[in-house]
Structure 1
Amino acid sequence: MKRARRTPTGAPVARRNATRRRPTRPAAPAAIIISSVLVLVLAGIAIFVVPPIHRAVFGSGVASGQEVRVTIPDGSGGDTIAGILVGAHVIEDPKDYYAAVTALGAEQSIKSGSYQFTTGQDAESVVRQLMEGPNVSGLKVTVPEGLTVSETAAKVQDALGVSADDFIAQAKASTYAADYPFLDGVAHDGYDTLEGFLCPKTYTFEKTPTVDTVIRAMLDQYAKEYAALDFSGAESLIKSRYGLDMSDYQILIMASIVEREGLTDEQRLNVASTFYNRMRDGMALQSDATLMYETGGEVTASDIQTIESPYNTYKNSGLTPTPVCSPSKNSLKAALAPADTNYLYFYITSDKAVFSETYDGHLAAIGENSQ
């Protein structure tokens, strides 16, 4: 459905990409080659010429000696590292960075991770620290509720310097099922993901962790906080109230949709009830939240009509094949023990929440609250 439209609604990200064989490309025309060379020349000007000119005319605008923290992601090249350091005003000229790297023979010795530097620092001292490794202890990453695997990977890379691409590639249920029983059977029908299981929390690591270390910390937290909940009792309640047979994984999927739809804990209890009622009555969920997982952005009327995907719950009945985010504990509790209502529709905005038992009532709520 939609918030502020016709049925329930939600939010974002993470597409599945099909692997396709690329046709052999013909040789690039001379004009394209010249254009590419021009782009590289302009990029070089942007990195090595523009900053010094800008400083000479305007100054850096940042006082020296201020403490700043920067993170160098895994696999970063020289231009990326220089750009990060210049952007944080640790050094002011990328040429100084490259000169220091050459002078110290540091080309193959730079380590990824989080560092504490000061603005206006001597380039050689910066490079020496990058060779020694991260100097920030107790590295932290905060993973909010409602993030997808891809969004979590980006947070981890920004905070810890762990490659987002490596994180996404590693975040497969089959990789961890042997050590975490709640993942048994999650990899199915071409879907092999930890979506929904990367527990929201602030995590602290003594040093730059590996991808595996980060993922295991999140799964350990899920086991501690979520898997201890009474899924069995909830499944009995849902069966008796709605006539639905739900597995632990299906309840997690429901919780992820509820997370994206409701804005408060009270709303989430009613959103969960609405969705269970619709499933009981054989109605499609009609949730923007599930389709936004496919599109990565706002859902249009055209998307609803044309996108053929199991995440399009306007075209398909029942739940999606995987969660659409990692839900909060309260969203999971709402999916485990929803409010007992007859609601079939809801209209939720930032300051309005109206639940209705009939479509006419739903239309009236939209009319009254969308002026």
Structure 2
Amino acid sequence: MKRHFFHFLCIAIFLLLSGIFFSFKASRKMKITFSIRKGEPTDVVIDKLAKEHVIKEPFISKIYARFNNIKVKAGNYLLNGTYSDEDILKILSRGQVHYVKFVIPESYDLFDVADVLDSCFPNCSKKRFLGVSFNSTFVRSLGINSTSLEGFLFPDTYLVDREATCGEIISAMVSNFNRKVKPLFKTYNPPAIVKKALGSVSIEKVITVASIVEKETSLESERPIIAGIIYKRLVKKMPLQCDPTVIYAYRLKGIFKKRLNGKDIEKIKSPFNTYLVRGLPPTPICNPGVKSIKAAMYPVNTPFLYFFAVDGKHIFSRTYKEHLRKMRKYYNRHAK
């Protein structure tokens, strides 16, 4: 009787262990995100994931982890598919962390970028990002000869670890700028108008022009013309009189303005107010794309000196008198 009981017990234990092992190997469909802190022991992580119904067999998982010397890696994980407990442990050992996808469009300034990052990354708040972005010592440590990162965070689509710091995110964006923009300047021979307007031509100055072009127009055909007007005005020692630079001056003071009136222009005393201060603003006013950068590098030799916006495009003029006449004609026609 005892012998039969012993055989029955052995069979029962074998079947139980077989069932547990089968469950350990069986794949289940799931879509879940979870985090592992730095230094968390493997057994603790397995218990936590078992409570969250990510791991089904914690006992076998712990034995498997010990025999295979599995050490989990910290980070944010995304599981979206079919996984067994064994699959999950392998993923934890490789550190397949949760990457965040974010997009920085052309023409975004540092304040726009800060809003995007603040909503995606717990370790990169808006305040922290802007703090380092306007820290000239940090900016120069990245090889940028400017007082801010404005203009040098290349607009693109990025995939970054959700736990990344502001410094790590900025490093990825500046590296992207270095890969995609700096090669354009390797064999760059500036046209005569660019040399005459800028004196000593530098990437920083050209990017500043490109940032104004980016903010002034989204039409590819207009970009080289507006760049040419900017350079012509610089050569003639005329103020650039570009609204986007004044809007940026207000942004630096924490005030967002979509449009300006005459009083707005008169009120703000800033080196970015290109109605009152001649020459280029001290830094770029946004992060331009390659098309605007190329327009700033190779402007059209244009006869125009003035322009104003209408219905998403611009009307250009050679003289101030012609500029006023075209403006009156346009606004009188649309006032009816």
> Is TM more than 0.5 here?
yes
SS of corresponding position for 1:285: coil
- Higher deviation after alignment, 202-211 or 239-248: 239-248
Partner of 2:131: 169
Give structure 1 stretches of 5+ with no counterpart.
1-66, 70-110, 118-134, 187-191
SS of corresponding position for 2:157: strand
The correspondence for 1:279, drawn from 210, 230, 234, is 234
Write the letter of the residue equivalent to 1:308.
K
On the 8 A contact 2:121/2:163 being kept in 1, the answer is: yes
SS of corresponding position for 2:116: helix
Partner of 1:258: 213
* Count of aligned pairs: 243
Partner of 1:153: 114
On the 8 A contact 1:137/1:206 being kept in 2, the answer is: yes
Distance in 1 (CA, whole Å) between partners of 2:197 and 2:248 is: 27
Shift of 1:281: 1.0
On the 8 A contact 1:235/1:247 being kept in 2, the answer is: no
Partner of 1:320: 281
Distance in 1 (CA, whole Å) between partners of 2:270 and 2:113 is: 23
Distance in 2 (CA, whole Å) between partners of 1:240 and 1:194 is: 24
Alpha-carbon distance change, 301 to 233 in structure 1, aligned in 2, over 3 angstroms: same
On the 8 A contact 2:75/2:98 being kept in 1, the answer is: no
On the 8 A contact 1:344/1:356 being kept in 2, the answer is: yes
Q: Does 1:289 align with 2:250?
A: no
Alpha-carbon distance change, 305 to 229 in structure 1, aligned in 2, over 3 angstroms: same
On the 8 A contact 1:244/1:280 being kept in 2, the answer is: no
Distance in 2 (CA, whole Å) between partners of 1:68 and 1:367 is: 61
Alpha-carbon distance change, 261 to 177 in structure 1, aligned in 2, over 3 angstroms: same
Distance in 2 (CA, whole Å) between partners of 1:325 and 1:112 is: 32
Distance in 1 (CA, whole Å) between partners of 2:320 and 2:189 is: 29
Partner of 1:357: 318
SS of corresponding position for 1:318: coil
Trace 1:36-47 onto structure 2 (pairs within 5 A): none
> Which has the larger Rg?
2
Shift of 1:146: 1.1
Q: Does 1:305 align with 2:266?
A: yes
Distance in 2 (CA, whole Å) between partners of 1:243 and 1:222 is: 22
% identity of equivalent residues: 29
Distance in 2 (CA, whole Å) between partners of 1:151 and 1:301 is: 26
Partner of 1:269: 224
On the 8 A contact 2:120/2:162 being kept in 1, the answer is: no
Shift of 1:319: 0.6
Q: Does 1:143 align with 2:104?
A: yes
Partner of 2:151: 196
TM-score calculated relative to the size of structure 1? 0.59
Shift of 1:368: 3.3
Bigger RCO of structures 1 and 2 (CA < 8 A, at least 6 apart): 1
The correspondence for 1:335, drawn from 293, 296, 306, is 296
The correspondence for 2:173, drawn from 210, 218, 221, is 218
On the 8 A contact 1:231/1:336 being kept in 2, the answer is: no
Distance in 1 (CA, whole Å) between partners of 2:249 and 2:164 is: 30
- CA RMSD of the aligned region, Å? 3.1
Give structure 2 stretches of 5+ with no counterpart.
1-30, 34-73, 81-95, 251-255
